[in-house]
Amino acid sequence: MANINVKINGRDVSAPAGSTILEAAHLAGIKIPTLCFLKEINEIGACRICVVEVKGARTLVASCVHPISEGMEIWTNTPKVLASRRRTLELILSNHDRKCLSCVRSGKCELQQLSHELGVVDEGYFDGVKNEYELDYSAVHMIRDNNKCILCRRCSAVCDKVQGVGVIGANHRGFSTSIGSAFEMGLGETSCVSCGQCIAVCPTGALTEKDYTDAILEAIADPAKHVVVQTAPAVRAALGEEFGYPIGTDVEGKMAAALRRIGFDKVFDTNFSADLTIMEEAHEFLDRVQNGGVLPLITSCSPGWIKYCEHYFPDMTENLSSCKSPQQMFGAVTKTYYAEKMGLDPKDIVCVSVMPCTAKKFEIGRDNQNAAGVPDVDIAITTRELARLIKRVGLDFRYLPEEGFDDPLGESTGAAVIFGATGGVMEAALRTAVETLTGEELASLDFTEVRGTAGIKEAAYSVAGLDVKVAVASGLKNAKELLEKVKSGEVEYHFIEIMGCPGGCVNGGGQPQVPADVRNFVDVRALRAKVLYDNDARQKVRKSHENPSVKRLYEEYLGQPGSHKAHELLHTTYVKRTIN
C-alpha cells in the first residue's frame, strides 16, 4: 500500500494510504487525546476531544475519523486546538458526578487524566442544570451509574458491534440523552450475558463490577471458616498491569504470595480443574463421536457464552458440553473430595475464585452448581478486585517473593494454562483426545492452527482414520456468525470452542482496564496470550491426562472420566431462555 506524505506540526510524516490523522500522528510519536474513539468499534468522532487544525479547513476536524491526503498540513497543539479541547472537557464535567476521591476509577480514569493533561480545573465554569440518575444494581455482576457517564457510547458500541447483544444504547434526545436499556429496564431484566465488555471499555467509573472484597475479608476473619482461593489462568497474565508491570508480564509467583499474605488458608489454582475439565470434556467428545451423540460438541467454559446460547440459540443447548466450567468444577471438588480429605464440613468452607470474567459472578448462582448441597463457589471476584484487595491490605506487590500453589489442588499442566487464550481449550482437548483415540504419544503438542486472536479459526485433523473438523470463535458476534453457518448446513464440525470475550479470557470483562490510547495501537490480547503459551512451553507436563493430582482424584474418588459420580459432581444442565 502506497504511503501518503503530510506535515504534522511542521514536520514531514509518511503514513499508509487510508490512515486517519490520529493514526498518522501516532506513527510520528504524537499523541492526540480521544474519549469516544475505539478502533474498529466506535469510530464516530462525537466527543470532539481529538480535534486538530487542518490548513484550508473552515473548522477544526475530528482526527479520529478524518483521512489524510497528500500534502495535508496539520497542527495538533495550537492555542485554538487546546482551547477547544479544554472547553469541551469543561462542558462534559458540568454534567458529571465529580466525586473522584471515592470513585473506583480514580487514578485510572481517562476523563480525569485528560483533565490533568489539558489543565482543566474544577471551577464549575458551566455549572447549572445537571441530570441525576438512580444507580442500576439490577444485574448480578455490575453497577451502572449514569451520573458518571459521558455519553461516549463505547459501551453500547462494544455490546452491539462486538458482542452482538445490543441491550444498551442511547435513550431520549438532547440534554436528556442517557445510556440505558429499552423501556428503561434494569440491566438485570434484559438479555445481558454479563460479559463485562462494556465495563472494560468505559473510560470513567460509570460502569463497574460489583465488589465482593469485603465479604472475603469477613470470611478470612471468621475462625470457623476455612477459606480457599483459586485463580484462573488469565489472571496471572494481567494482574501485574495493576502494579505498573508492562502488558504481557507473568506474575504467577507474586500473585500466589500475595494471596497467601491476604490470609487465605489455601492458595490453589483453577488450572487444576481446567485439566479436570479436559478429562471430562474429551471423554464426552469421544463418546458423542463414537456413539452417535449430538454434534458438534460445543465447549462450556465461558459463562457469558453459555448465557448467550441460552438466550439467542436455545435450540443448540443440546450441543453444549454438560461439563461445568473449571471454576465450578474446582468448587465441587473442594467441597467434596478435599473436604473429606481434610475432615471439613463443606458448610464451613468458603471457596473464592479470582477470575478475568464478570460473568463468573452470575455463574456461581446458576442452578445445579451445588455438588455438596452448598454452592460450589461462594464468591467470585475479578482481576481488578484482587488488585484492589492487595492494595487495601497494604501489600507491596512488586517486592513480594515468588511462591507456588498449595497441593493437591494447585498442580496443573501446560494444557490447563492456555485455557485463558482463545483456542486454548480446543488445543488442550485435542492433546488428550488424540492420544486417547490413537493410543500413541503425540510427536508435537502444539496445535498452532487454533492459536491467534482471529475471531474465527478452523482446522481439520486426521485422527485414527477419522477426519476431525474443529472451529474456534471468540467474541459473541463471531459466535453468532459461526453458529448460523452450522445451523444452515453451510459448515460442519465435530467440535467447537467458543469464548464470550474477543481473544478469550485474557481479554475478559474483569481484566485490568486499558486506556484507549493503548488499546487502539497495541494488541493487548496477543501480549497477554503469549504469557500463557510461554508458561505452557516451560511446563514439564503439558497434557491434562498426565496431571498426577487429577489421576489420583480419579483413582481415589471419581473412578473414571464420565463415571456416575463424575456426572453428579462435575456436570450440569442448561436453560432455554427468552430474549428481553
User: Is there a single domain that holds both residue 198 and residue 237?
Assistant: no
pLDDT, average across residues 333-353: 98
pLDDT, average across residues 423-442: 94
CB 72 within 8 A of CB 61: no
Please report whether residue 217 resides in a domain: no
Number of domains making up the chain: 3
φ, ψ (nearest 5 deg) of residue 104:
-65, -20
Q: How many angstroms separate the CA atoms of 414 and 543, rounded? A: 7
Q: How many angstroms separate the CA atoms of 32 and 82, rounded? A: 11
Instruction: Report the pLDDT value the prediction gives residue 1, as an integer from 0 to 100.
Output: 66
Residue 50 has pLDDT above 90, yes or no: yes
User: Is there a single domain that holds both residue 255 and residue 316?
Assistant: yes
Q: Which three cell numbers stand for residue 21?
A: 490523522
Instruction: Report the pLDDT value the prediction gives residue 464, as an integer from 0 to 100.
Output: 83
User: Is there a single domain that holds both residue 230 and residue 204?
Assistant: no
Q: How many angstroms separate the CA atoms of 560 and 558, rounded? A: 6
The rounded mean pLDDT for the chain is: 96
pLDDT, average across residues 550-571: 97
pLDDT, average across residues 261-282: 98
User: Is there a single domain that holds both residue 158 and residue 21?
Assistant: no
Structural domain range at position 545:
225-570
Please report whether residue 100 resides in a domain: no
pLDDT, average across residues 1-30: 96
> Model-level pTM?
0.96
Please report whether residue 116 resides in a domain: no
Lowest mean pLDDT among 73-87, 114-128, 234-248: 114-128
Instruction: Report the pLDDT value the prediction gives residue 312, as an integer from 0 to 100.
Output: 97
Share of the chain above pLDDT 70, in %: 99
Phi-psi region of 470 (alpha: psi -120 to 50; beta: other; left: phi over 0): beta
User: H helices of 44-184, where?
Assistant: 79-93, 110-117, 154-157
- Widest Cα–Cα separation across the chain: 79
Please report whether residue 114 resides in a domain: no
What is the β-pairing status of strands 142-144 and 466-474? unpaired
User: Is there a single domain that holds both residue 140 and residue 267?
Assistant: no
Share of the chain above pLDDT 90, in %: 96
Check which CATH number belongs to the domain holding 47 and give it: 3.10.20.740
User: Is there a single domain that holds both residue 397 and residue 292?
Assistant: yes
Please report whether residue 310 resides in a domain: yes
Read off the pLDDT of residues 275-306 as tens digits, 9 standing for 90 and up. Answer: 999 999 999 999 999 999 999 999 999 999 99
Check which CATH number belongs to the domain holding 155 and give it: 3.30.70.20
Q: How many angstroms separate the CA atoms of 395 and 387, rounded? A: 10
User: Is there a single domain that holds both residue 536 and residue 561?
Assistant: yes
Among 398, 380, 381, which Cα is nearest to 258's? 398
Strand partners, 136: 144
Instruction: Report the pLDDT value the prediction gives residue 128, as an integer from 0 to 100.
Output: 86
Instruction: Report the pLDDT value the prediction gives residue 465, as an integer from 0 to 100.
Output: 84
Q: 304: part of which helix (H) or strand (E)? A: helix 303-312
In which residue are the cell numbers 489454582 written?
269
pLDDT, average across residues 159-165: 97
Q: How many angstroms separate the CA atoms of 512 and 529, rounded? A: 14
User: Is there a single domain that holds both residue 386 and residue 430?
Assistant: yes
pLDDT, average across residues 421-428: 97
User: Is there a single domain that holds both residue 204 and residue 293?
Assistant: no
pLDDT, average across residues 531-560: 97
pLDDT, average across residues 438-467: 93
Lowest mean pLDDT among 125-134, 167-176, 413-422, 507-516: 125-134
CB 35 within 8 A of CB 20: no
Please report whether residue 506 resides in a domain: yes
Check which CATH number belongs to the domain holding 276 and give it: 3.40.50.1780
pLDDT, average across residues 340-363: 98
Residue 171 has pLDDT above 90, yes or no: yes
User: Is there a single domain that holds both residue 182 and residue 244?
Assistant: no
Instruction: Report the pLDDT value the prediction gives residue 58, as an integer from 0 to 100.
Output: 93
Please report whether residue 362 resides in a domain: yes
Note every long-range contact of 477-486, with CB atoms under 8 Å and residues 24 or more positions apart, other chains counting.
477/161, 477/162, 477/163, 477/164, 478/502, 479/164, 479/305, 479/308, 480/164, 480/312, 480/313, 481/456, 482/456, 483/313, 483/316, 486/296
Instruction: Report the pLDDT value the prediction gives residue 121, as an integer from 0 to 100.
Output: 77
Residue 332 has pLDDT above 80, yes or no: yes
Question: Would you call 539 helix, strand, or coil by DSSP?
Answer: coil
Residue 478 has pLDDT above 90, yes or no: yes
Instruction: Report the pLDDT value the prediction gives residue 475, as an integer from 0 to 100.
Output: 97
User: Is there a single domain that holds both residue 265 and residue 367?
Assistant: yes
Classify residue 115 as exposed, middle or buried by CB count within 10 Å of its CB (0-12, 13-18, 19+).
Answer: buried
Final residue of a domain: which of 77, 98, 130?
A: 77
Q: How many angstroms separate the CA atoms of 105 and 196, rounded? A: 15
Read off the pLDDT of residues 183-232 as tens digits, 9 standing for 90 and up. Answer: 999 999 999 999 999 999 999 999 999 999 999 999 999 999 999 999 99
Please report whether residue 269 resides in a domain: yes
Final residue of a domain: which of 77, 111, 131?
A: 77
Final residue of a domain: which of 22, 47, 77?
A: 77
User: Is there a single domain that holds both residue 413 and residue 444?
Assistant: yes
